[in-house]
Structure 1
Amino acid sequence: MAFLNHRGRTLCYRLLGDASRPLLILAHPLGMSQGVWDDMLPALLARFRVLTWDLAGHGASSAWPEDSATITPDDLAREALALADTAGADAFHFAGTSIGGVIGQQLIAEQGDRLLSATLTNTGAVIGTPDAWHLRAANVREKGLAVMAEDIVPRWFGARACEEQPALLDGWRVIMGRGDDNSYALLCEMLANTDFREKLDNRKVPLQLIGGANDVATPPESLAALAQCCNAADPVILEQVGHVPSVECPDRFAGLLIENLL
């Protein structure tokens, strides 16, 4: 792991692989950490230099400042850009899942000249409803992530992954429960106010969309709507996969990335 001071906060990141290879930046889902990419790294590092990081209040990155009332997609995109600068990359490939896909949409909309390509998975131009996100933010502030993780984590994974990895839910409940409550709540409120439906129609970045057939958080219809509003090809929908393909089918996901990016 390495650390970067960025706008008064500390970002925890990993920069792995041969510096002569194209840079691929990976952004994890809400409530998780950069560890979601671990099982994909052997395949990806054979072709790319890979950079992963922890979002605010997740993993080993510092919490969002208590005196700041909001987090925006631009705030998160600027973290990715700062890390790319640290890696010495003028342009890079990007892949993000869930809220990581929201970061990707912000980069496409405002920083497309820095992107070689974007792969967005299990996300949407709009995710969920404002009321649901505001309710979750309020519940997190009242009850804490350790309590909320009991109900949220089972929504992430398809049945097959849970059957094959009996400790999967317990492990991710621990990780989510150690996060910063306020940072998570602010990110929920950001998602309540995020709408990219009118911002991606003129994109020039090569784009791949991937979803999970059993994803209850961002179902295939969410990816299909995103494809329509940004004139992208139909999304690849992975059977028996939920919200986190990097954990549920890392080899297949890595294969799709490599096939599309090279």
Structure 2
Amino acid sequence: MGFMSYQGRAICYHSHGEEGKPLLILAHPLGMNQTVWEGVLPYLIPSFKVVTWDLPGHGKSEALAEDATEIMPDDLAGEVLALADQVGEERFHFVGTSIGGVIGQQLLINHSDRLISAVLTNTGAVIGTPENWQTRSTDVLDKGLGLMAEQIVPRWFGQLACRQQPGLIDAWKHKLAECDNRSYALLCEMLGQTDFRQKPLNKEVQLVLVGGSDDVATPPQSLQQLADLSNADAPIILDGIGHVPSVEDPVLFSKILLTNMY
């Protein structure tokens, strides 16, 4: 585990694997942390140097400043570029889930020269509605994530994962409750304001889209819309999977990553 400073804030990251291998950076979903990648790391490390990190106020990364009024997708993309610089690599592969996929889209729009390939999962050019994200932000600030976790976490996982991994939901309720309320709320507001439908992604970078048949937050049609906008191949939709394939079926998800990154 390491820490770096970015815009005056400490970011927690892990670098796994050997020097000299292609760099792969992984971006986790909102309300989670970099431990979502633990199940896939054993499969990826033989082929890549893998870097994971915690979003602002998530995991062990420092919260956004108390006087912060907003955060933008390019701020988060800047964290990715800073991480690549931190480990001494100019170009890298990128995998992002949910808000991580939003970060990936921002990289494809403004920083595609740094990308070798991108796999975006369980995301969309637009996610939800501004009204719903503003409501979520307000509720989190009023009630706290400890109380909101009961409502939020069950939406993350398909029934298959819940049956096969008893205690999955309870474990992630605890982890969500540890997130900084204000940072989470500002990220909700960012998602409500983000709409990439009129911002074409760079089509020269290899792009693979992955979704889950049971994902209620970013259903398969969100991935299909993104495929249509980017001229990517049809999304790979995983049967019985919800919003977090790296947690729900890390073996299958790892196979997809290794098959589609080169």
Q: Which TM-score tier does this pair reach, normalised by the shorter chain?
A: over 0.9
Shift of 1:68: 1.2
Distance 2:227 2:240 in 1: 21
State the match for 1:131 in structure 2: 131
Shift of the 39–201 alpha-carbon distance from structure 1 to 2, 3 Å rule, reads: closer
Q: Give the conservation status (yes or no) of the 8 Å contact 1:57–1:184.
A: yes
- 1:204-246 deviation line (CA, Å, top 9, x unaligned): 2110000000000000000000101111110000000000000
Describe how 1:107-122 pairs up with structure 2 within 5 A: 107-122=107-122
Structure 2 equivalent of residue 187 of structure 1:
187
Structure 2 distance, partners of 1:3, 1:108, is 26
Query: What displacement does 1:174 show?
Result: 0.2
- Contact in 2 for aligned 1:112/1:203 (Cα 8 Å): no
**1:85 — aligned with what?**
85
Q: Secondary structure at the match of 1:39?
A: coil
Q: How many angstroms apart in 2 are the aligned matches of 1:166 and 1:192?
A: 33
Residue of structure 2 equivalent to 1:29: 29
- 1:164-243 residue pairs with structure 2 within 5 A? 164-243=164-243
- Determine helix, strand or coil for the equivalent of 2:40: helix
Counterpart in 1 of 2:96? Answer: 96
1:189, distance to aligned residue in structure 2 (A): 0.2
Task: Give the counterpart letter for 2:140 in structure 1.
Answer: V
Question: Any stretches of 5+ residues in structure 2 without a counterpart?
Answer: none
What is the match of residue 261 of structure 1?
A: 261
Structure 1 residues without counterparts, runs of 5 or longer: none
The 1-side partners of 2:97 and 2:232 are apart by 17
Q: Which amino acid is 1:94 matched to?
A: F
Distance (whole Å) between structure 2 residues aligned to residue 160 and residue 194 of structure 1: 31
**Structure 1: how far apart are the matches of 2:256 and 2:201?**
24
Counterpart code for 1:242: G
The separation in 2 between residues aligned to 1:201 and 1:175, in whole angstroms, is 33
User: How many aligned residue pairs are there?
Assistant: 262
**Letter paired with 1:126:** V
Q: Give the aligned residue type for 2:50.
A: V
CA distance in 2, matches of 1:73, 1:177: 23
Distance of aligned partners of 1:117 and 1:202 in 2 relative to their CA distance in 1, 3 Å threshold:
closer
> CA 1:40–1:202 in 2, change beyond 3 Å: closer, same or farther?
closer
Q: Secondary structure at the match of 1:242?
A: coil
Q: Which residue of 2 is the match for residue 151 of structure 1?
A: 151
- Offset, 1:201: 4.7
2:220 & 2:111 partners in 1: Cα distance?
A: 26
Identity in percent: 58
**How far did residue 92 of structure 1 move?**
0.1
Matched, 1:7 2:7: yes
**Which structure 1 residue ranges, 4+ long, deviate > 2 Å from structure 2?**
200-203
Measure the CA separation in 2 of the matches of 1:171 and 1:180.
Answer: 17
For 1:18-97, what aligned pairs fall within 5 Å after superposition?
Answer: 18-97=18-97
Compared CA separation, residues 252 and 49, structure 1 to 2 (3 A): same
